[in-house]
Structure 1
Amino acid sequence: MNKLYFSLLTFWISFAALGQTGYHIKGNVKGIKPEAFTLAHYFGASQYITKDTAQADANGNLVFEGTQALPGGLYMILSPSKKRVMDLIIGAEQHFSFSTDTANVIGHMQVKGSPDSELYYKYQQHVSGYTSEINLLQRQLQFRQDLMTTTKINNLRRQLMEYYKQFTQENSNSLTGKIMRAGAEVELPTPPKRPDGKPDSAWLFHYYKAHFWDNFDFSEERLVRTPILQRKIDRYMQELTLQQTDSLIQSADFIIEKALKAGNKEMQAYCIWYLTNQAENPTIIGGDAVFVHLADKYYLGGLMPITDPTTVENIREKVNTIKPVLVGKTMPALSLTDTAGKAISLNDLKSKYVILFFYDPDCGHCRQSTPALKALQEKYKTTLDLQVFAASVARAPEQWKKYIRDFGVQSWVHGYDYSFRINFRKDYDVNNTPMIYVLDKNKKIIARRIPVEQLEGFLDYHEQTLSAK
């Protein structure tokens, strides 16, 4: 399990035990089997934290109860196979009952004693009437296009939006109202015209991004226990942010600053944890800098409100390892011994490009990657002045030499640490093999953690970028 995930998950489980009034939730669900069902709250969009289990009887009756209050949020009841049976919103009132039928959970749901869940299903039942009619009309359009049907659909959608606005306005202080509002789309104004008379789509995009969080209340910690926050973060970071390091850092800081200003520690902790956790495994070249920035600023800077000393020290160690080998930095010196027993230094290579290939001769992925890297070096050795510096991280010199013979890669520059003094993991961030760096003639890192299969595309793109400059 991811270390950052585990530390924050532990907090949420312990925090949820601090309630005072207890809970008693009695349900009757026609159609369920006499099995054990789980009550859990959302933790992001794809995770959940179990709070209780209850055994259903032959008539579909089950009771969840405990002596400590549950943390408020959007909950789900799960079957033994982890299939979601229904949702419940648990707010201040936690002694309530509900009844429904698996044939139509929403349509047959009746709740007594929980204002938030009552509102939630009142809204769902009202909306389902509109959506059923809209779906029916849309199916008709598949067979016959006509203006009247299209007009009906548009009218129904407008009525649906008006109902939503009225519902969230009338119930703005309820947890249900806040959840509904948090997930709502931004209303877009009519954009100005461009000089050619067309709507200015760029203006509209910037307006949408600037107002994306308008409906989300960062001071409401119960929104952490819904899937809405994670989904909004993902969309803002992946769809509304340019996938470049500086832009990603700016957007991540923007979200976290909103949480910090709102003052709720759980909200702050989730935003910092989730964004840092996502940045641990970047999907863009140079993306490690996002993780280093967030970890450095919020965890090591003391702004992360919920963590433990062990986690902080683990993060500090990782940041200290990655920082010197980020894209844009000069590769730290590396001196090894070649197959003839002579000292060979990375700085001795004068090629325009150097592929620094850390590998283990017995690593299956390394061996699979070697033929492709060999072909790449042969293709670009002359045209791009490209050389491979292959550094074995294994402590087995005979296997190292056999690897070179087996794959016929004698044209590469090979190095081995006979002194056994180099800590490849700590000094060069070699946590897994193969680990690849792409260096320019000055040994500046222009790419790292890049698969062999993507090297050719990257080199072509980099050459085009240099030519454009």
Structure 2
Amino acid sequence: MKFVLSISLFFLSIVGTLAQKAPSYEIKGTIKGLKNVDVYLAHYFGSSQQVIKDTARANELGQFTFKGKEALPKGLYLVSFSTTKYLDLIIGTDHFSFETDTVDVVTNMQVKGSEENAAFYTFQQEMNKQYRAMQSMTDAQQVEVTRKRIAAYQKEWMLKNQSLFVSKLIKATFEPEIPAYKNPVKNAVDSAALYKYQFSFYKKHYFDNIDLNDDRFIRSPFLQRKIEKYFEDLVVQESDSISKDADALLAKIKQTDVRKYVIYKIASTYENHNIVGTDGAFVHIAEKYYIGEPKLWDTTTVRKMKERLAVIKPLIIGKKIPEMVLTDPSGKRLMLSTIPNNYTVVFIYDPECSHCKEETPKLQAQEAFFKEKNVGVFAASIVRDKAQWQKFITEFKIESWYNGIDVHLNPKSGVEEYYTDFKNTFDVYATPVIYVLDKSKRIIGKRIPADKIQDFINFYERKK
């Protein structure tokens, strides 16, 4: 009987344990100074986005609990408790608690049950203490002593916490240390050699302090910032250079989620970049890493990328623009390829578009320059309404331009026909769209602001 009873108790204890199974995550917080307000838990997605994962209600004592049945993806999170105030947390373990106040979140933070966050806030508290002390110092020697103390603390802290993700996060904020230049610097040539050495070393070792194969960095601001700074400041903004450096970076990244993230960031940067001549980098990335690595993506993404490439590849800088056949105001055929000018500004617009109406006078204002440089404006209406088109020409007094509309009368049937797919042939997803062509009708500029055409052509001629 005792045996049966013990088995029964054991069974009941198991059932009780299952019934009371803890949620996959439970984070208890207390922020003194809060009262009856909503508090949000979100993870970073790069440096410019946050993804809300949970919401809780703080009671009159500022106490709240985030709780859920599905484990949170690991990374750097923020707890937002007003429109301007938040605190950072590292989600590494799923059950912990913290307490602080609204007066000084960092200084008054206490953490239980999370080694990551305890180490994180210990580091921040010490750094704040040292930097506050240094701000009041007037003696240079004293400041230097404090700097060395900070560096020694950081080194010791990193060593002590090297197994934690927080150590990786802090390390990712450090710049690579450039070894001293060994050659003497006596003149401008030596200075140039020094700069080249420093730049080359810095670029080569730029990503040394961040683990490019740890997907937790996607849920932090640091990876996006590193990528953006690298391509903005250290990479020559030409398609070949961008493509080469992108290939070198991606060769280091094997982890699937990080690889997808970095590919996406680079591709999205250069699909419609504000620097002319970088669109070829987008084509390279799309062909090599989307079309060339289809297992990384779902079939819809690959299909849409193929469709996007079909539109944009014929329109990259240096390509001869596709033919455009329109009808001019006198009813005659107007072909883009026959425009005789040294330069052609292709202005694709909607007569009812307010932005088009703002940009048209900006083109007109450069008439004297256009005449001097033998620039012709080929203006194409995407709206096939002759009355609207002719009204636009008259209203803005652009009769001297090559004006055309995609309406063609079939000589046999007398039916109006349309020849041009503006969206898919000329990448017109919003109006106006501007292309700048050379005498051979090769694209030398695209999506240039209307009032910058003169500056662009001057720059182009200096660069030739």
TM-score, length-normalised on structure 1? 0.88
- Indicate the residue corresponding to 1:321 in structure 2: 311
Q: Who is 2:255 aligned against?
A: 264
Q: CA deviation at 1:212?
A: 0.6
Q: What's the offset of the Cα at 1:130?
A: 0.7
1:384 aligns with 2:373: yes
* Equivalence for 1:122: 122
Name the counterpart of 2:32: 30
Partners of 1:78 and 1:429 lie apart in 2 by: 41
Task: Mark the CA change 1:84 to 1:43 in structure 2 (over 3 Å): closer, same or farther.
Answer: farther
Which runs of structure 2 are paired with 1:215-234 in the superposition (5 Å)? 215-234=209-228
SS of 1:180's equivalent?
helix
In the alignment, is residue 211 of structure 1 matched against residue 193 of structure 2?
no
Corresponding residue to 1:182 among 160, 172, 178: 172
Distance 1:66 1:320 in 2: 45
- Partner AA of 1:160 in structure 2: I
Confirm or deny that 1:61 pairs with 2:50: no
Residue type of the partner of 2:184? K
369-378 or 51-60, larger mean C-alpha shift: 369-378
Does residue 415 in structure 1 map to residue 415 in structure 2? no
* Other structure's SS at 1:58 match: coil
1:282-324 CA distances to partner (integer Å, 9 max, x unpaired)?
Answer: 110123222222222211222572x332232222211110110
CA offset at residue 180 of structure 1?
Answer: 1.0
CA shift at 1:169, angstroms?
2.2
Retained in 2: the 8 A contact 1:437–1:450? yes
Residue aligned with 2:107, SS: helix
Q: What is residue 163 of structure 2 aligned with on the other side?
A: 173
Q: Hey, what does 1:42 align to over in structure 2?
A: 44
**What is the Cα deviation at residue 63 of structure 1?**
1.0
Alignment-mate amino acid for residue 408 of structure 1: K
SS at structure 2 position matched to 1:64: strand
Give the structure 2 partner of residue 235 of structure 1.
229
Aligned-partner residue type, residue 427 of structure 1: T
Cα deviations by residue, 1:77-133 (Å, 9 ceiling, x for unpaired): 012x44342111111x22111111211111111111101011101111111111111
Residue 48 of structure 1 deviates from its aligned partner by 1.0
Aligned to 1:341, the other structure's residue is in SS state coil
Structure-2 change in CA distance of 1:320 and 1:193 (3 Å): farther
Q: CA RMSD in A?
A: 1.8
User: Relative to structure 2, which stretch is displaced further, 452-461 or 185-194?
Assistant: 185-194
Look up the equivalent residue of 1:421 and give its one-letter code: Y
Aligned partner of 1:90: which letter?
A: I
Q: Decide whether aligned partners of structure 1 residues 123 and 134 sit closer, same or farther in structure 2, where only a CA change above 3 A counts.
A: same
Contact 2:23 2:68 in 1 (8 A): no
**CA separation in 1, counterparts of 2:25 and 2:270?**
38
Q: Which amino acid aligns with 1:185?
A: E
Aligned equivalents of 1:378, 1:335: Cα separation in 2: 27
The residue that corresponds to 1:8 in the other structure is none
User: Radius of gyration: which is bigger?
Assistant: 2
Q: 1:274 aligns with which of 254, 262, 265?
A: 265
* Distance apart, 1:465 and its partner CA: 2.2
Whether contact under 8 Å (1:24, 1:63) holds in the other structure is yes
Matching of residues 413-452 of structure 1 within 5 Å: 413-418=402-407, 419-452=417-450
Q: Distance in 2 between matches of 1:108 and 1:225?
A: 25
Alpha-carbon distance between aligned partners in 2 of 1:361 and 1:463, rounded to the nearest angstrom: 32
One-letter amino acid of the structure 1 residue matched with residue 94 of structure 2: Q
Distance in 1 of aligned mates of 2:419 and 2:443: 23
Counterpart in the other structure of 2:99: 99
Distance 1:21 1:258, change over 3 A: farther
The CA deviation at 1:215 is 1.0
| Distance of 1:151 and 1:53 partners within structure 2 | 49
Q: CA separation of 1:377/1:254 partners in 2, compared to 1, >3 Å: closer, same or farther?
A: farther
Counterpart of 1:330 in structure 2 is: 320
Find the counterpart in structure 2 of residue 291 from structure 1: 282
For 2:395, the equivalent position in structure 1 comes to: 406
User: Secondary structure at 1:430's aligned position in 2?
Assistant: coil
SS in 1 for 2:106: helix
1:65-80 paired onto structure 2 within 5 Å: 65-79=67-81
Given that 1:23 and 1:65 are in contact with CA atoms closer than 8 Å, whether structure 2 keeps it comes out as yes
Q: 1:28 touches 1:60 (CA, 8 Å); kept in 2?
A: yes
- Corresponding residue pairs, total: 430
Residue in structure 1 matching 2:330, options 340, 346, 362? 340
Task: For residue 189 of structure 1, give the secondary structure of its aligned residue in structure 2.
Answer: coil
| 1:158 lines up with 2:148 in the alignment | yes
SS in 1 for 2:456: helix
Q: Contact 1:377–1:388 (CA<8 Å) still a contact in 2? A: no
Deviation at 1:402, TM superposition (A): 1.6
Aligned: 1:369 with 2:369: no
TM-score normalised to the size of structure 2?
0.89
Long gaps (5+) in structure 1:
1-19, 141-148
- Structure 1 runs, 4 residues or longer, greater than 4 Å off: none
